[in-house]
A and B are shown apart, each in its own frame.
Chain A
Amino acid sequence: MNEPKDNAFNGIPPEAIAVMQKNAAKQKRFRVSLTIALGCLVGLMFGGGIVLGLNFAFMGKWFGFIIQGIGYTLLVSISAITLACVLAILGALGRLSRNPIANGIATMYVSLIRGTPLLVQVYMWYLALPQIGRALEEYGISGAQSFLTLPAIPAGILALGVCYGAYMTETLRAGIQSIKIGQTEAAKALGMTDRQAMRRVIFPQALRVIIPPVSNEFIVMVKDSSLVSLMGVWEISYRAIKIGRRYFSSLEMLVMAALIYWVMCIILQTIQEKIERHMARGERRVS
């Protein structure tokens, strides 16, 4: 049905074959032109860099130093997305729950976190939490202040994870609700409990639906991980800003940092496409 057969031309009239070949040629022309257009744009950007007198030797010299920050960027992003996924599952189940306490907590979580700027949240975790610790200590909980005084990286991971968990809660909830009611009914008619129906039937299908938005959120988060530079973590953008300022070469350094993020996101996008194709194996395809 999907793969063209070897003997597909059997019985197809020649004028139809001519049309089919013309369509195929048109598609191929489009792909080639698109590649050329993208190539030209990259060339144009590179040319623009030359015109502006970017110091490529300087960029090359500091590339090694700046790329070292990728470790922090990846550590923060991957830890935060893991935390966000866990929170999103709990949050979505809470939002769909008929238990008023679970539902209330989840609804409040999403509303509060989505309703406040990430920048404020980052500072909350880093700068305001110790104050809460001190208040608790005054109520007699000893050690609270030092426990709640977080180093920059854990604070960044918590801030990003909790924030993206709230957005992903809504993505996941929508994904679960997009699965037709007939699927739940079929699972229940077999004698499954609510939990079994969710785990075996609804969740796997919802997962397929939410791969694109969740990948999208992950890509945004990789870039938002640069917010931890506010707390003095030596990740990519912090290094770029520091070096750029010191040598009055911010343009070079920022362009380089931007390129590194861009390449990372292109890689992530490729992975996303692979996963999507794998998950879509039971689907009818539009060819």
Chain B
Amino acid sequence: MSEIMIKIENLHKVFGSDLHVLQGINLEVKKGEVIVILGPSGSGKSTLLRCINFLEEPTAGTIEVNGVRINAGEEGKVRKSKILDIRKAAGMCFQSFNLFPHMTVIDNVIEGPVTVLGQSKKEAIPYAEELLEWVGLGDKRNEYPARLSGGQQQRVAIARSLAMKPEIMLFDEPTSALDPELVGEVVDVMERLAKEGMTIIAVTHELHFARDVSTRALIMDGGNWVEEGPPEELFTNPKEDRSKQFLAHILE
């Protein structure tokens, strides 16, 4: 449990010339930890998550994922291939699912292994089917994404990420675009993933996941941490005023 999976040092992100979204973030995540990041909108949570797999270019600082270390400002081919290594190790699920609409469900799930890992379709399909079964969508393998509900689409997206056998899963508000009655099925899959020992960082305000599943919760505001701790402690007894205000909002 002590192996460090993610290490972020002094991370800054500036959009344009003066939008300083991340202001010197530090974070260490150990293998098997389930981290929840909370905070008001615009506080930089999603940007932080997207910096971890370099969908967003850090302006300054260092990011290390699964032993691959990249300093902001590095350039060249080595850096590019390091980014690909990080992305292979860290799966990501998006608020808007982003399934590939021109592919069936099963083709979505095998896309990573076939295109990125160079497996043949035949090799990739059995595990993809297993994953679809695991997220409860074995019977939807030949449907197109447009014919699925939001919750089903997000579960396919999770299966698509897991097909790459990642070491870490990043969830960027995975349930924010869902109708209330569909949130449960996605959270349930995330919870089972956590129980199987996956290292997870989730940006979510889903209370059950934050309180009962996560091992550590962090509150972010204005581009840096306000407070962190075990979830039950943070939720029941926040120390900072800013945390109290924010938690009062989401606990309503």
Residues of A within 8 A of B (CB): 1, 180, 182-183, 185-193, 196, 200-201, 204-205, 208, 281-284
Contact = CB atoms under 8 A, between A and B. Distances in A.
Contacts of A186: 94, 98-100, 157
B116 interface: yes
Q: Give the top 6 A-B pairs by smallest Cβ distance, nearest first.
A: A186-B98, A282-B144, A182-B98, A189-B92, A191-B88, A190-B112
A217 to B, nearest CB: 23
Contact of B112 (A1, A191, A193): A191
Given A182-B96, A190-B112, A191-B112, 12 more contacts: A180-B98, A188-B87, A189-B87, A189-B94, A189-B161, A191-B84, A192-B112, A196-B115, A200-B111, A205-B102, A208-B102, A283-B146
Contacts of B146: 282-284
B74 to A, nearest CB: 18
B39 to A, nearest CB: 21
Contact of A182 (B94, B111, B161): B94
Contacts of A204: 102
B160 interface: yes
A interface, over-half SS: helix
Interface in B61-104: 84, 87-88, 91-92, 94, 96, 98-104
Contacts of A281: 144
Nearest to B112: A190
B53 interface: yes
Given A185-B94, A204-B102, A282-B102, A190 B87 contact: yes
B250 interface: no
29 contacts: A1-B147, A182-B94, A183-B100, A185-B94, A185-B98, A186-B100, A187-B100, A188-B55, A189-B53, A189-B91, A190-B87, A190-B112, A190-B115, A190-B164, A191-B88, A191-B116, A192-B112, A192-B115, A196-B115, A200-B115, A204-B102, A205-B102, A208-B102, A281-B144, A282-B104, A283-B101, A283-B144, A283-B146, A284-B147
Contacts of B99: 186
B160 A190 contact: yes
A124 B145 CA distance: 50
A204 B101 CA distance: 10
Contacts of A180: 98
Nearest to B101: A282
Nearest to A186: B98
Contacts of B160: 190
B48 to A, nearest CB: 15
Nearest to A196: B115
Contacts of B88: 191
Nearest to B160: A190
A191 B102 contact: no
Most buried by B among A1, A182, A186, A204: A186
Contacts of B112: 190-192
Interface string B42-58: 00000000000101000
B8 to A, nearest CB: 18
Interface in B142-159: 144-147, 157
Given A188-B87, A282-B145, A196 B100 contact: no
Contacts of A205: 100-102
